[in-house]
Amino acid sequence: MKHKTTTQIEGNKVSIDACGAILPLVSLLLNGSNRGKKDALTTYKLVSMKQNKERAVNAGAVKPLVDFISEQGSGLTEKVMVVLSSLAAIPEGRTAIIEGGITVLVEAIEDGLVKGKEFAVLTLLQLCAESVRNRGLLVREGGIPLLVALSQTGTAREKQKVFFVHHCPFKL
């Protein structure tokens, strides 16, 4: 039987946030050692709750997350992509990610690992679904040819996520 971690138990997410854990976790992302940053990222399930997402964004979590994607070999990319995807689900998160985020997400699709590519596509979908401006940024950064290529040669999961991007109620 698989044991659940403290952050996987739904009731604990509220309790952990109520104790003020989001700010110290963001501080670890900003100032911690590589190990501290990894530990902070393993608590990504905390940001599955809307109020925790808002607190994380307001505490400045997005910029270091976007920066980590650019750092090749940090070992944090996949976890960062999961967290960014979660934060992109709220308007404040989308706004914060746009500042430099589309470029890094396009680069992650081009050069990243499979799981990271999947979450990069999902995050781009969230960023572009309701924003003509963001879709223009995606086009300008060269994301469309990469998405088309991924839809043809990617894994089944990548193709599925790209399919949703192409069949979303907007035109790129």
Tokens representing residue 22 in the block: 């989001």
Which one has a higher pLDDT value, 127 or 43? 127
Full residue range of the structural domain in which residue 132 is found: 6-166
Q: Residue 141: what are its φ and ψ, rounded to 5°?
A: -80, 0
Q: Please give the single-letter amino acid code of residue 42.
A: T
**Residue 87: its pLDDT value, please?**
92
Q: Is residue 171 included in any domain, yes or no? A: no
Q: In this structure, are residues 118 and 105 in contact, taking their beta carbons and an 8 Å threshold?
A: no
SS3 (DSSP) at 112: coil
Q: Which of 48-52, 99-103, 153-157, 161-165 has the lowest mean pLDDT?
A: 161-165
**Residue 94: its pLDDT value, please?**
94
Question: In the predicted model, is pLDDT for residue 114 greater than 90?
Answer: no
Q: Please give the single-letter amino acid code of residue 20.
A: G
Q: What percent of the chain has pLDDT over 90?
A: 19
**Residue 92: its pLDDT value, please?**
93
Q: In this structure, are residues 155 and 114 in contact, taking their beta carbons and an 8 Å threshold?
A: yes
Q: Is residue 84 included in any domain, yes or no? A: yes
Which one has a higher pLDDT value, 75 or 4? 75
pLDDT tier for residue 170 given thresholds of 50, 70 and 90 = very low
Q: Which residue has the tokens 């401006």?
A: 133
> How confident is the model over 48-63, as a mean pLDDT?
86
Q: Is residue 1 included in any domain, yes or no? A: no
> How confident is the model over 36-48, as a mean pLDDT?
75
Q: Is residue 104 included in any domain, yes or no? A: yes
**Residue 159: its pLDDT value, please?**
60
Which one has a higher pLDDT value, 111 or 15? 111
Which one has a higher pLDDT value, 156 or 165? 156
How many distinct structural domains can be found in the chain?
1
Q: Is residue 56 included in any domain, yes or no? A: yes
Q: Is residue 172 included in any domain, yes or no? A: no
> How confident is the model over 52-58, as a mean pLDDT?
88
Question: In the predicted model, is pLDDT for residue 90 greater than 90?
Answer: yes
CATH assignment at residue 62: 1.25.10.10
Q: What share of the chain is helix, strand, coil (3-state, %, to 5)?
A: 75, 0, 25
Give the 3-state DSSP-derived string for 85-96, with helices as H, strands as E and coil as C: HHHCCCHHHHHH
Label residue 32 left, alpha or beta by phi (over 0 means left) and psi (-120 to 50 means alpha). Answer: beta
